[in-house]
A and B are shown apart, each in its own frame.
Chain A
Amino acid sequence: MTEQQTKEINARNERYNKYVESVTPKTGTFVSLLKAFVIGGITCVIAELIGDGLSTLLPSLSDELVSSYTSMIIVSVAIFFTGFGFYDVIARHGGAGSFLPITGFANAMSSAALEYKSEGLILGTSVKMFTVVGPVVVNGIVWSTFAGIVRYLVMLIFGV
């Protein structure tokens, strides 16, 4: 292909992409934000209620234990919702409001575990369980290590 032809094709593709973009329907930003806010907010309110309930029922629990128990409960609920097949229905509306909280992580892992069960517990579920959450885990560790190093350097230099 000559340089001239390549140029022409690139120009044609650019024109076409522009045209496609102009006719492609967009997701409404405002509605999406609102839905994410409401669903994410409701998730957090429910978690807070569980936490408050726990500390009222079991006053001897430390705050740290209350938050751990709350996370465990809300994660289990999300996994049950995934298994019964309605987490994805909520998430279709919730968007970031349902995948950002800890429930989203639970859904991503349990949905993969369920999906690949057909290839067996070892080669299916165990191998593929992290297909969706893998990037979250890897980046979580890498960037928190990076943050730790920065924090350490700040302490060395400024002494705080």
Chain B
Amino acid sequence: MKNQTLFFKNKPRIVSGMSIVGKKEGDGPLGKYFDHISDDPKFGEKTFEKGECKMFLKAITGAVDKAKLNNEDLDLLLAGDLLNQLISSSYVARTLSVPYLGLYSACSTMTEALTIGANFINDGHFKLVACATGSHFATAERQYRYPLEYGCQRPPYSQWTVTAAGCTLLSLKGEGPAITHATIGKVVDFGINDLNNMGAAMATAAADTIYSVFNDTNYDERDFDAIFTGDLGRLGAEILRDLCREKGLELGQKYSDCGEMMYKREQNCYCGGSGAGASASVLNSFILGKMQAGEYKKVLLLATGALMSPTSSYQGETIPSISHGIIL
């Protein structure tokens, strides 16, 4: 088996992290961990797209402020979102006027950005790199599904796109948690074609990357204080547990899914949250907080992404998915 994992000897560290969420996410179980909760889904702007941009920008400037730095100190911005042509990320990069690489890996963009960013920092190419992703319920809904006010029923296993953005600043300096390894995932497709069941499609990618992480690093589930996936949802998380159990791997209590954690059951969000903002906001609030408090010492984060588009699905294609893992 080929090695898919990068080992970072120089220990790129998380200088600061910022998370911004919408009201529904703020009302969820993780509400108290987020840095900022906005009651206005448009964030004071005229359209949802512009609102998403503003949320995104606030996440980045917030992280910079927390580190007591200026926007000019950023050497590179690695960002991605779910909208066509990456408009949110690119318009934010326009405002910030810093070197920028736009990334798309659907909902696994956060760990993709961290993988690339950590590598740049580790090799000394840049001193301060911002990694940010976000997603917005209203903009994703119109791009992937129906108009917001259209009355349609969703199956009970569907997921709710989170309105959230998160930004992580990486540098060699500081005392924050270090990214020690990053595992680049393979695109996996087990023939799932139900667009409402992306958790089932992505669980296979998460399982594939978990094996690769354990295989490449010689760690196993006992070495971690916690293992998180990005947005598999309740059903996808159960499927991942089953897939791992098949290979003799018991994930147990250590494992949680960021999307599933996002909402309470009574919030009517079906199987939980999905979207690029899920892993980004949970990493920069809950996970980072627990690491800074010393409760978690070693964490595996596997953001998961479904790489289809409405066009490919209408043409009868199945859902390919990917998961990149990072070890903190």
Contacts and interface: CB of A to CB of B under 8 A. Distances in A.
Do chains A and B interact in one complex? Answer: yes
B57 interface: no
Contact of A90 (B150, B151, B154, B192): B151
Interface string A76-88: 0000001101011
Interface stretch (A23-31, A50-58, A135-143, A146-154): A23-31
Contacts of A104: 151
A16 B205 CA distance: 13
A132 B235 contact: no
A16 B146 CA distance: 29
Contacts of B197: 20, 24
B153 interface: yes
Interface string B182-216: 00000001111000010010001000000000000
B275 to A, nearest CB: 19
A137 B157 CA distance: 31
B191 A24 contact: no
Interface residues of B, number: 29
B148 interface: yes
A16 B242 contact: no
A108 interface: yes
A16 B191 contact: yes
Interface stretch (B26-34, B43-51, B81-89, B296-304): B43-51
Interface string B224-242: 0000000000010011001
Contacts of B146: 111, 132
A35 to B, nearest CB: 10
Contact of A87 (B47, B142, B149): B149
A91 interface: yes
B156 interface: yes
A85 B294 CA distance: 45
B155 interface: yes
A70 interface: no
Interface of B: 46-49, 142, 146-157, 189-192, 197, 200, 204, 235, 238-239, 242, 318
28 contacts: A10-B191, A13-B189, A13-B190, A14-B191, A16-B190, A17-B190, A17-B191, A23-B238, A24-B197, A25-B157, A27-B155, A82-B151, A87-B151, A88-B150, A88-B152, A90-B151, A92-B154, A99-B152, A104-B151, A110-B149, A111-B149, A112-B147, A114-B148, A115-B142, A115-B149, A116-B147, A118-B48, A118-B49
